[in-house]
A and B are shown apart, each in its own frame.
Chain A
Amino acid sequence: DTEVTQTPKHLVMGMTNKKSLKCEQHMGHRAMYWYKQKAKKPPELMFVYSYEKLSINESVPSRFSPECPNSSLLNLHLHALQPEDSALYLCASSQVPRGAINEKLFFGSGTQLSVL
């Protein structure tokens, strides 16, 4: 199984809602990532978890709250988002943390988020 599975595929939420994005992999990878991708732009790194611990936070606003309950699961909790947060949110995993310069990222298909 070489898949990274993300749910839901689409999400529409209001600015006062609380929602969560879920990501799952069963490849035994110990690094997991959240990326944000706006239309026609490259993916931008948000968070990195290394061995279930948060190792990188790219100065992401606190309305985004990541969680890594175990080595296979990664969540992104959303609260009080703004319309400009509308984007494709991609999860990725790799065998070892990104500090290893020759690591291959496996991406999920993403959650397309719309904030109204």
Chain B
Amino acid sequence: QQPVQSPQAVILREGEDAVINCSSSKALYSVHWYRQKHGEAPVFLMILLKGGEQKGHDKISASFNEKKQQSSLYLTASQLSYSGTYFCGMITQGGSEKLVFGKGTKLTVNP
């Protein structure tokens, strides 16, 4: 089942913060975050395995609420290079342990 990702699009000015949310209707093993720039390959950002775990990648961090089956990606003091489409991927329990991506959030950072 496809994760529900929101918002669909975000427009920021450089230096502003953003939060992207992802949720599942099923219990999760893990949450994966990728960023894809236009015309490029998706690039791995991070994986979260445990409830409440937060991981960081430069000024990009994420949390995972296992009970609520939700994850949030936090982009702090955004840079122009953060522009792209962010996909969350989830592996749900009781399934075939395949990674299924959400529909994506298009982030645009303007000067």
Contacts and interface: CB of A to CB of B under 8 A. Distances in A.
A40 B43 CA distance: 16
Nearest to B96: A56
Nearest to A58: B98
B44 A104 contact: yes
A101 B30 contact: yes
Interface residues of A, number: 21
A110 B103 CA distance: 19
Interface in A57-110: 90, 98-99, 101-110
Nearest to A88: B39
A109 B2 CA distance: 23
Interface in B66-103: 87, 91, 96-103
Given A42-B104, A101-B30, A101-B91, A107 B98 contact: no
B47 A45 contact: no
A105 B101 contact: no
A4 to B, nearest CB: 8
Interface of B: 2, 29-30, 32, 34, 40-44, 47, 49, 87, 91, 96-104
Interface of A: 4, 40-45, 56, 90, 98-99, 101-110
